[in-house]
Chains A and B, each alone.
Chain A
Amino acid sequence: MGIEQKLANLGIVTTTLEKAVNWSRTRAMWPLLSGLACCAIEMMAAEASHYDMSRFGMELMRASPRQSDLLIVAGRVTRKMAPVIRRLYDQLPDPKWAIAMGDCASCGGVFNNYAIVQGVDEVIPVDVYIAGCPPRPEGLIHGILTLYEKVENERLTKWR
C-alpha cells in the first residue's frame, strides 16, 4: 500500500526527478540541421513524409547549434571539416548528444586515406554509432531510439 495508490484517484502521478527530467529530454530532442555527405540525404528522407521522424518529437531541425540538443554527424568528416564539427559541438548548449551516422562518421568507412578523419570520435564524443553506408532511414530512427534509451537511463549524478 503505497502513497501512489491513494493519490491515483486524485489524478496525481508520482515519479522521481531523474525520471521526469530524462523523460522530458527525450520527448523534444531537436537535431541540428547539418548534413555533410550521402547520409545527409538519408537523414532528409527520414525527416520527410515517408518516414516522418516527427513521430518521435524530432520534426524540428534547427539550423542554429544554439537551439539544438543533438548533433547528427551525417557523412564523412574531412580534415578540413573536423574543426568546424568540433566548433558546432562546442556551441550546442548542455545537455547535448552526438550520433555518428554511417560508416564514414563511425570509423572512416571505405575511405581509408589522408583526407578523412577515421571516425568522428577522434573529434567529438559520440553517444550512438549507426552502421550502414548509408544507413536506411529506419536505421537512423533506430539509432535515435537507442539514444533515447540511453538518455532515459542516465543517472542524476551524470547530468550535464
Chain B
Amino acid sequence: MNNKLLKAIQTIEKRFGVEEHIFRDEYSLIVSPGDVVEICRLLRDGFGFDMLSSLTAVDYWPEGDPRFHVIYQLYSIENNINLRLRAPVSDDNPAIPTIEGIYPNANWHEREIWDMFGIKAEGHSDLRRILTPYDWEGHPLRKDYPLGYEEVQFTFNADEIDAKKPYVKE
C-alpha cells in the first residue's frame, strides 16, 4: 500500500472517525455526510488529491438503511493514488453539503444526483435538473422508480399493441 495513501487515511481516521473498506486494493472510507466538505478540503490541500474523478450515488431501497450512499471518487495526479469516500444519506429529505467550492466540476455531478436520485446538494449555486426534461416528475435512478418497460410486439400480440400505441396523426 502506498505510503501517501496510508498517511491520508490515517489522518482522516484520527480526525473524523471513519470506517474503512478495502476490496481489490481499492480503498473506500465511509464518512458522515456532514464531514464531506472538511475531508475533501483536507485531502485536496494536504494530500494532493487535486481531481474529482467521479461523483455519484447508489440507492439501497428497500432494505438499506440509510437508503443512499453518495460516492466521491478522488484522484491525485501527483501521487497517482485513488481514494473513494462514501457518505450514507438517509431517505428522509436526503441532502448532502455541496463540494462545489473545492472541486468546481462537482457542480454538474451534484445536479445529476439531484436529478437522478433526488439528493439535494445544499448550498449549490444552480440546482436544476440536468438530464431529464425540465418538468420531469420523480427521480429515475431510484430503485422504486419503474424502468418504464413497454411490452414487446410479437406476431401473436402485434395488433393488440398496435391499437394501444399512440401513433401521431399528421
Do A's and B's CB atoms come within 8 Å in the complex? yes
How near does chain B come to A109, taking the closest CB pair, in angstroms?
11
Are A122 and B168 CB-contacts (below 8 A) given A108-B150, A113-B149, A114-B146? Answer: yes
Q: Does the CB pair B147–A114 fall under 8 Å?
A: yes
Q: Do A121 and B167 contact each other (CB < 8 Å), given the known contacts A79-B133, A115-B132? A: yes
A112 touching B150, Cβ below 8 Å? yes
State whether A118 and B150 are in contact (beta carbons under 8 Å apart), knowing that A79-B133, A125-B168 are contacts in the complex.
Answer: yes
Taken together as a complex, chains A and B put the C-alpha atoms of A55 and B166 apart, in Å, by 37
**B136: nearest chain-A partner, CB-CB:** A79
Interface residues on A, range: 10 to 19
Q: Which chain B residues numbered 121 to 161 have a C-beta less than 8 Å away from chain A?
A: 132-133, 136, 140, 145-150, 152-153
A122 shortest CB reach to chain B, Å: 5
Query: Do the beta carbons of A113 and B168 come within 8 Å of each other?
Result: no
Which residues on the A side are within 8 Å of B26 (C-beta)? Answer: none
Chain B residues near A80 (CB-CB < 8 A): 132-133
For residue B15, CB closer than 8 A to chain A, the reply is no
> How far is A113 from B132 in the complex, measured between Cα atoms in Å?
13
Q: Which residues of chain B are within 8 angstroms of A124 by Cβ–Cβ distance?
A: 168
| Contact, CB under 8 Å: B133 / A122 | no
